[in-house]
Chains A and B, each alone.
Chain A
Amino acid sequence: MSQHVIDIQNTWKTYRGGVQALRGVTLQVPQGQIFGFLGPNGAGKSTLVKILTSIVKPSQCEGTMLGERIGHKKTLSKVGYLPEHASFPEYLKGREVVRYVAGLCGTSKSLSRVKADELLELVGMSDWADKKMGSYSKGMKQRIGIAQALVNDPEIVFLDEPTDGVDPRGRKEMRDVLVKMREQGRTVFVNSHLLGELEMICDSIAIMDRGELVTQGTIADLTAKSQRIEIGYLGQLSSDLMTKLSAMGGEHSAQTITIYQKQISEIQSIIDTLRAGAVVISRVEEVRQNLEDLFISSVSATGVGGTQN
């Protein structure tokens, strides 16, 4: 089996009614990572996850998940899934929901009992486990949702907006849960709009826009291009100095000199030159794009949604 738990090429989906939700997506997800899947509303993120979990039939899809073709039912016993806007039967108790899902996965009764207790503890719902779903708050339901996604000891866990409706402390706890899953060797595939949170935990990300994949890679790699060092100064630069700096790769604008893709050790000569010209340096700073900047610069500026035929 390849290093990639998900390895798909050329995935297309046109819904009935003509919405082209996916247009030739090719995606590799490395094993054992937390993988962030981003994109504006209607980009096709949920559609892709649904194709991988056999909820939606692709118009076309080549490649494999866990070494099996997409849509292979047996493979899904090694997959956990928390749908977007998950709704679980109101007439079941939290614990029953977890065990119901375990049963659907074919987990034996005794094992599912043990698993349920363990997972309810993990998501902090032990005290509430014997109350009906109907009496839960949104965030509590979401916690049960996380627990049920893990009940079959999955190798891959798909979480479609898992922190939807969860309070800040709960979100922190959930991040810890995700990290724990990764430590256990699972691959975690997260759809989310909360870039700040993803940035904290994701190893790699992919960004979708209008049914196409626009970027994919580790956050460090993707933001490397934007890595730069800024030197702030006071006063004026002589034109002689400016020419020298340009020759050394510095770009100059409003009291700041910017040098792209250089290490701090490599720009010491520029500092020397400035100091030799008696320029007062106010700051030297290494700057890197954050995920939000990357996201904004990757996706097109207009509108939402898939492509209408």
Chain B
Amino acid sequence: MTQIFTILWDSYKLLTAKKLFWITLGLTIFIALLYASVGFYDGGISLFFGTAKLDNDLINAQSDLASHFYMKIFTNYLVPWWLGLFSIVLALISVTPVFPNFFEKGAIDVAVSKPIRRTTLFLTKYMGCLLFVAAQVALFCVICYIAQGVRIQQWSLQIFWAIPLLLLAFSSIFCIAVLTAVVTRSTVFSLLMALLMWGLGVVLNSAEKGAYNYAYNPMMEIARSTEQGGINPEKVHQITQGISMPTPKVTRLTNLLKEKVKIDGKEVGSYLDAFLSAFGFGEKKSEFKLQSGKRHSMAYIFGSTLAFNIVVLGLACFLFERKDF
């Protein structure tokens, strides 16, 4: 136990010694507070703790729409964009050097020559990095949770689903960096590989989405029928699905939060969407779009990403176990 704490303590020391850590932490708090600064008064929306006011007849303290609006900012923007993109990139930049630093000649020797199994050493180090990300996401969620409670009286514990979802998403990118680090010991290369594979995942998953759209969207009927001698669109979708299955699904994971968070048993935004479309604002989500969003079960998205994690991490661990330093 002492050994595990020591490894975690060392990772903590390494991370907090970096400026980037404090910058990321500062930004996280800043964004969360920005969210908390949004409020509602009888005539509309107030920003920056009431310093700016936007009059709005639909979204105000009097209307139920305010809670949907406020929650939607969290589930549809803050989580996928801030947590799911920017903070993952920032976290990746901060924690990627942990493993290459650890593998440096003259440094790794000390750790590896101690009475502790290499696998334990490796996995603890990895967990330390995840813990660091978890702490940041948790802090963010806590601030947002309190903000939602105070602003719209929704004490929705479901928003904490963001932590495991984000952690899995982050881990599925980070494990690529770690595997690269075991092989090359290079920070830059690790980071590049991680971003590259992330990009590849996005491309493959978008291709799958596109293929699904082409194969099943009723609006594509005409296009499908005019195509001559082409390959069966459903087949194309099956192939793209097969290729994209073993890839990490960061975007889709973060989007899962939308399904988890409900307001009074209703999906966030559905009320708002319906209301807006009734008045001719915005477009009501087509049946197909809704169906498309749910074409994969949560288990599929979670499971395939988790499997990817386990395989990549397992390989990295296996190589680390056998490596001569």
Q: Which residues of A contact B (CB under 8 A)?
A: 15-16, 50, 53-57, 73-77, 79, 81, 83-89, 91-92, 96, 100-101, 103-109, 148
Q: How far is the CA of A84 from the CA of B106 in the complex (A)?
A: 7
Q: How far is the CA of A75 from the CA of B115 in the complex (A)?
A: 7
Is B106 a contact partner of A85 (Cβ separation < 8 A)?
yes
CB < 8 Å neighbour of A73 from B17, B105, B107, B115? B115
Q: How far is the CA of A85 from the CA of B5 in the complex (A)?
A: 26
Q: With A54-B112, A73-B117 in contact, do A108 and B13 touch (Cβ < 8 Å)? A: no
Is B114 a contact partner of A104 (Cβ separation < 8 A)?
yes
For A108, the chain B residues whose CB sits under 8 A away are 2
Q: How far is the CB of B8 from chain A (nearest CB, A)?
A: 10
Is B14 a contact partner of A91 (Cβ separation < 8 A)?
yes
For A104, the chain B residues whose CB sits under 8 A away are 3, 6-7, 110-111, 114, 116
B64 beta carbon closer than 8 Å to chain A:
no
Q: How far is the CB of A76 from chain B (nearest CB, A)?
A: 4
**List of 5 A-B pairs having minimum Cβ-Cβ separation, nearest first:** A103-B6, A91-B17, A83-B109, A87-B106, A53-B113
CB < 8 Å neighbour of A55 from B5, B10, B104, B109? B109
Q: How far is the CB of B98 from chain A (nearest CB, A)?
A: 11
CB < 8 Å neighbour of A85 from B2, B105, B116, B117? B105
Q: With A56-B324, A91-B14, A100-B10 in contact, do A81 and B2 touch (Cβ < 8 Å)? A: no
Is B107 a contact partner of A87 (Cβ separation < 8 A)?
yes
B9 beta carbon closer than 8 Å to chain A:
yes
* Nearest B residue to A96, CB-CB: B13
Is A76 a contact partner of B107 (Cβ separation < 8 A)?
no
Is B104 a contact partner of A87 (Cβ separation < 8 A)?
yes
CB < 8 Å neighbour of A106 from B14, B115, B322? B115
Q: How far is the CA of A177 from the CA of B280 in the complex (A)?
A: 85
Q: How far is the CA of A104 from the CA of B112 in the complex (A)?
A: 10
For A55, the chain B residues whose CB sits under 8 A away are 108-109, 112-113, 324-325
Is B5 a contact partner of A103 (Cβ separation < 8 A)?
yes
Most buried by A among B101, B109, B324: B109
Q: How far is the CA of A83 from the CA of B322 in the complex (A)?
A: 19
Is B115 a contact partner of A74 (Cβ separation < 8 A)?
yes
* Nearest B residue to A87, CB-CB: B106
Q: With A56-B325, A57-B324, A77-B115 in contact, do A109 and B105 touch (Cβ < 8 Å)? A: no
Q: How far is the CA of A250 from the CA of B113 in the complex (A)?
A: 54
* Nearest A residue to B109, CB-CB: A83
For B6, the chain A residues whose CB sits under 8 A away are 100, 103-104
* Nearest B residue to A53, CB-CB: B113
For B107, the chain A residues whose CB sits under 8 A away are 86-89
Q: How far is the CB of B103 from chain A (nearest CB, A)?
A: 11
Chain B 258-287 near chain A by CB (<8 Å), digits 1 or 0: 000000000000000000000000000000
For B13, the chain A residues whose CB sits under 8 A away are 89, 91-92, 96
For A109, the chain B residues whose CB sits under 8 A away are 2
* Nearest B residue to A104, CB-CB: B114
Q: How far is the CB of B159 from chain A (nearest CB, A)?
A: 34
Q: How far is the CA of A91 from the CA of B15 in the complex (A)?
A: 9
Is A103 a contact partner of B14 (Cβ separation < 8 A)?
no
* Nearest B residue to A105, CB-CB: B114
For B3, the chain A residues whose CB sits under 8 A away are 103-106
Q: How far is the CA of A150 from the CA of B307 in the complex (A)?
A: 43
Q: How far is the CB of A142 from chain B (nearest CB, A)?
A: 11
Q: How far is the CA of A75 from the CA of B110 in the complex (A)?
A: 15
For residues 102 through 140 of chain B, which have their beta carbon under 8 Å from a beta carbon of chain A?
Answer: 104-117
Q: How far is the CB of A20 from chain B (nearest CB, A)?
A: 14
For A15, the chain B residues whose CB sits under 8 A away are 324
Q: How far is the CB of B3 from chain A (nearest CB, A)?
A: 5
* Nearest B residue to A99, CB-CB: B6
Chain B 2-36 near chain A by CB (<8 Å), digits 1 or 0: 11011101100110010000000000000000000
Query: Apart from A79-B113, A92-B13, A104-B3, what 7 extra A-B contacts exist at CB < 8 Å?
Result: A56-B324, A88-B110, A91-B14, A100-B6, A100-B10, A103-B9, A106-B3
